[in-house]
Amino acid sequence: MAQRRLPVLAMWRSRLSLALVFVLCAPFARANIEIEVKGVDETLRANVLAYLSFDRYRKSETLSTDTLERLHNRVEREVAAALKPFGYYEPKTLSNLEDLGGGNWRVNVNIDPGQPVLLDRVDVHVNGAGSHDVLFTRLLDNLPLRPGNRLNHAAYDKVKGDLQRTASNYGYLDAKVTRNDLLVDPPNHTASVVLELETGDRYRFGTTHIEQDVIDDALVRRYMRYQQDEPFDMTEILRTQFALDDSQYFSNVEVLPGDPDRVEHLVPVNIRAEPNRRHRYSFGLGYGTDTDIRGTLQWEARRINQAGHRFNVVAQAASEQRKLESHYIIPIGDPALEKLDLETTYLKQQLADVDTEDTKFEPGITKVLGRWQRVYFVTFDRTRTQSPVVQQNATDFLIMPGVSLALVPQGYLGEALFTNAFFTQLRASHHTFGSDSDFLQLDTKAEHTFDFASRWHLYLRGEIGASLVAEFSKLPATVRFFAGGDRSVRGFGYNELSPIEVVTDVNGNTVLDDKGNPVTAKVGGKHLITGTVEIQRDLPRNFAVATFFDFGNAFDHFGDPLEYSVGVGFRFRLPAVTLGIDVAQPLSVRGAPPRLHINFTPKL
């Protein structure tokens, strides 16, 4: 670890010159120190800076000349200490302190890391009852330590820590590291690693003690992610904690393992919970170019009885939409994931050129199997449509049984999903059910973000909808497709993309404008295709920029033309939402101006 030395005379001359500079300067100088580290890659450079005492004094206002010299004398050993964890045991360092004037200094550190120490032997073994457990074999099959690799102390510590954490988290509570050898031979630039873990027997879940008087204990037990006598797993303890927290029944929940029974190899669990406020009121304001300013008022009754029934009412108002929605929720099966939801909705909205008013009742059962969430529902819908095509109101009654299927994240615990990794819904209506319209309709959505570089992301989104309709003219606008807007085809207005029909009067005659041309209206289509290809680039401080290509349309016949747009966007990622500002230029409409889109997207 010897430093590359100057000749003795030159060294003393350099020190005398440095001392003279210090004498001529004030005893204390305002120090602004620049540090230049050369000869090593960014990873090593970052660690060298972390070790250098100079780095901690870069902006010091009062730094004595003696302190500057002492800091300079530390450079050699601090560099050696910084490189040793990365397998460089014999670095050579040349440094100097350069006076830039005005109390400013530059420390130049040139490093030759030397020949690295390589691993020539790696023996990591797990013995005992857990030797064939996939939890450990997975670790052993993917070791970051391999013969021929450069020695890395952090990788060695990580392997040892992973073995110990795995044993502790997954019930091998008597596990011990019986060998823990890292032998380094710097002259020969070799090292060997020997690690052995003795797992002992795996513990199982014991009895669970519950302390709460909010809901039935039986319901609390249905939130548990584990069962008695199953192998102990700390991750399931945490998931139980999260599930009970998300239930909204409790203000504080503790799910803690008790003292293990070393004879029976059992771990009891204690659940303690305190009641949450029974009622919750909330109010929110938002803005989007699709809706303009919108407001939301919500009331929740978090628990109605000991069986955990809940009720909530949400009122929303925006420029083109008024909505009043209520849910009476009964937990069933696994209450974190499954429920009976009795939904009642009143919705008044404008869909392109059509005004609609809906009153519906929709009971639905939500079930989850693996990563697939299924919802079985029946919608009883009374819809009133005011369309300029016929210049009269139409009232329809629909009974629509249906099913939806959604892909949920790994470890999903019932939280709200604001993105559709995959979602598809099939619903139908027929006069034999008492409906005024006969149709079968499928709507499928998918979106995903691919990280193809450290700061670059590819976002893909698509939707396709199709309807099989006996008589399209009798299909209410509320079950037709529209496209365009912030979450559809940017560059076009909300629900602007739709087939066009000629407006007629009550007698069936075509309505003409002042120039004698037929008046047309956008009334929705039988089918839908939309898609987005977007490239995002992360910037510092939670900012990002994006460029995108959107396409799609609502239409009556597959093969009808699609609309296209391109644009650029700006993203600001806040803790709970992402602010998106996009400017999109339609390509398929000659002379169309660019359009601004502003929206807030909730995060999971």
- Note the pLDDT tens digit of each residue in 574-583: 877 788 999 9
CB 246, CB 339: distance < 8 Å: no
Mean pLDDT of all residues in 69-91: 92
Q: Average pLDDT of the chain?
A: 89
Say whether pLDDT at 8 is over 50: no
- In this structure, what is the dihedral angle of CA atoms 548, 553, 554, 560, given to the nearest 10 degrees? -160
| Confidence (pLDDT) at 393 | 67
Half-sphere exposure of 297 (CA within 13 A, CB side): 6
Contacts of 575 (CB under 8 A, 6+ apart): 603
Mean pLDDT of all residues in 441-447: 97
CB 190, CB 182: distance < 8 Å: no
Residue linked to tokens 């002042």: 514
**Which range, 25-34, 328-337, 413-422, has the best average confidence (pLDDT)?**
328-337
Beta strand 104-112 with 32-38 is: parallel
How far apart CA 548 and CA 568 sit, in angstroms, is 6
For the stretch 266-319, pLDDT in tens is 999 999 999 999 999 999 887 788 878 889 999 999 999 999 999 999 999 988
Task: Provide the pLDDT confidence category of residue 208 given band limits of 50, 70 and 90.
Answer: very high
Mean pLDDT of all residues in 16-43: 63
Mean pLDDT of all residues in 480-502: 93
Which pTM does this prediction carry?
0.80
Query: Residue 528 corresponds to which amino acid?
Result: L
